[in-house]
Amino acid sequence: MTGPRVPTAAEELRAAGLRVTAARAALLETVRAGDHLGVEAIAGGVRDRVGHVSLQAVYEGLHALTAAGLVRRIEPAGGPARFEGRVGDNHHHVVCRSCARVADVDCAAGEAPCLTASHHHGFTVDEAEVIYWGLCPDCSTPPSARALRST
């Protein structure tokens, strides 16, 4: 028994009203296959799929995909922008203070915006973005324990 058919990157681009190009399809596929990737890593993944593409084209493509809601841009304080393919749900992130690793955290409080602002200043709030900070398992394990684990 098979699940529902997953649309191709080209079909998703068309459905979002974007022009379909090999670079844009590769960009979407790279972000979806990655794990909170930075622009340089995304550019490398796109180049692996389609050959040469300029960094400017990657930035422009990411802007278009983000505006269309196909990818999500996150910007942890003090770090570069990261992109992810997990969109359309209400989730947050945890960031390692040491190595900057980013992981998804499901919202514990329900549907978006999942948190209520103490004062909304007349805004209609539709999303809350929470970033938890700490140390990932690798960075919180003393180096001597890491050496023992790897043997």
Binding site as annotated, residues = 96, 99, 111, 136, 139
* Rounded CA Rg of the chain: 18
Query: CA-to-CA distance for 9 and 22, rounded, in angstroms?
Result: 10
Which residues contribute to the annotated binding site for Fe cation? Answer: 111
Among 133, 38, 64, smallest CA distance to 93 is for 133
Q: Are 62 and 27 in contact (CB under 8 A)?
A: yes
Sheet order of strands, 91-96 included: 102-106, 91-96, 131-134
Residue ranges of the binding site for Zn(2+): 96, 99, 136, 139
